[in-house]
Structure 1
């Protein structure tokens, strides 16, 4: 049961955030709340030591402080900041969090370049009315960074502490 929660909730939230941001340019608070609540419920049930849970919370708080600073400067959306922090809670301090940050930046950079090329191409005029491409084509809006964050989260999740625990629990 715990394995199912871990293996369904996190990926679902990453995919939902990516699609939601792509369509509406928003990531609902409920996504971050669900990630945080699920982690806080399942982490102790996996046998994760309280000190390790504390370090995961510390990682989330540090990421939230940095990303809200970026939000205050107008360089990041609030939903992106909250999603990054909630995802950091699942990754903890260490390699998975570093991988998530690097992959998020790489995917974000590639997404930004692709959208800028797309917005300046004639094809955006033709495909811009398609629901999934509407915000990509709109030159007045920013970049739906939740797409990059979702992709990075899905890529790193298998090496996250809870991802590793769930796979190991299923193979026992």
Structure 2
């Protein structure tokens, strides 16, 4: 067994763990830490060439990721998403590649809309007294609080990732 044989499985584990962790931390803290984005960037930079991704595949993924970062920062400037969401979206697109990123973005929009509707419905109901000790739930319940959009981005990434070259043979 070679290093190349281990690169794709390591990538799968790294991506899944990091994306799940980012979704959970965004839900509970309303923040996606820069360290998680750096793990995705460095992990891709190391593992993609070892997993057999060609230089053009890596280049197109990086170009698309940069484009998503620019678009997401425009959304951030308008106050539509957070800065962590913008960076997380770009890092996720890097991993999904040019073939699967459009589907990811559509799933993100659909799941984000559904999550927002559910969150708005949750906020119309009284929070049970026994949950008032949970700081993150009280923050999530507050109508002045934003929407942790990283949850939708993480779910969309996990739905799309199994179809990528990380989990299907490249050849």
Pairwise same-fold verdict (TM > 0.5): yes
CA contact (8 A) 2:104 2:156 kept: yes
Shift of 1:46: 1.5
2:141 is aligned to 137
Query: How far off is 1:132 after superposition?
Result: 5.4
Q: Does 1:148 align with 2:152?
A: yes
Residue 3 of structure 2 corresponds to which residue in structure 1?
none
What are the equivalent positions in structure 2 for 1:10-159 lying under 5 Å apart?
A: 10-94=15-99, 96-122=100-126, 124-126=127-129, 127-130=131-134, 133-159=137-163
Q: Distance in 2 between matches of 1:158 and 1:145?
A: 21
Q: What is the root-mean-square deviation in Å for CA atoms of aligned residues?
A: 1.7
> Is 1:32–1:82's contact at 8 Å kept on the other side of the alignment?
yes
Q: Which runs of 5+ in 1 are unaligned?
A: none
CA distance in 2, matches of 1:37, 1:151: 22
In 2, the alpha carbon distance for the partners of 1:138 and 1:125 equals 13
Structure 1 residue 13: deviation in Å? 1.0
In structure 2, relative to structure 1, the CA distance for the partners of 1:128 and 1:138 (3 Å cut) is: farther
Count of residue pairs the alignment pairs up: 165
